[in-house]
Every structure is written in C-alpha cells, then in structure tokens.
Amino acid sequence: MGSRVNLKEIRDNQFRIFLVSKKLGVNVVVNSFTYCVNLVHIWYNKNNNQEIQ
C-alpha cells in the first residue's frame, strides 16, 4: 500500500514538472516568434522608408 502511494506521488510530481516545463517551453516559443516578427517588421519598415526616400 505504502509503495503504491509513493509511486502515485512520484507520478503526480513528474506530471506537474511536465506541465510547468510545457508552459515554459510554450512561452519561449511565443517569445522567440514575437521577437522574429518584430525584427521582420523593423527590417521591412527600414526598407520601405529607404524606397520612399
């Protein structure tokens, strides 16, 4: 009985760690994506301004 409870606790902890790391991973991906989009916007605007001038 005791070992079964311990296994369940370990599994719950692993699941919690998995959820947290998943959340962090998603944040990293989203941040990288927004960063790239911002870079593209800056580059695009710079090129457009040069063409207009």
Q: Which of 4, 53, 29 is nearest to 12 (CA)?
A: 4
Instruction: Count how many domains the chain has.
Output: 1
Distance between CA atoms of residues 51 and 53, nearest Å: 5
Rounded to 5 degrees, what angle do the CA atoms 38, 44, 49 make? 125
pLDDT of residue 20: 92
Give the residue numbers spanning the domain of 33.
Answer: 1-53
Higher per-residue pLDDT: 35 or 52? 35
Helix residue ranges, H only, 1-53? 2-52
- Report the alpha-carbon distance of residue 2 to residue 28 in Å, rounded: 39
9-17 average pLDDT score = 91
For residue 52, the model assigns a pLDDT of 59
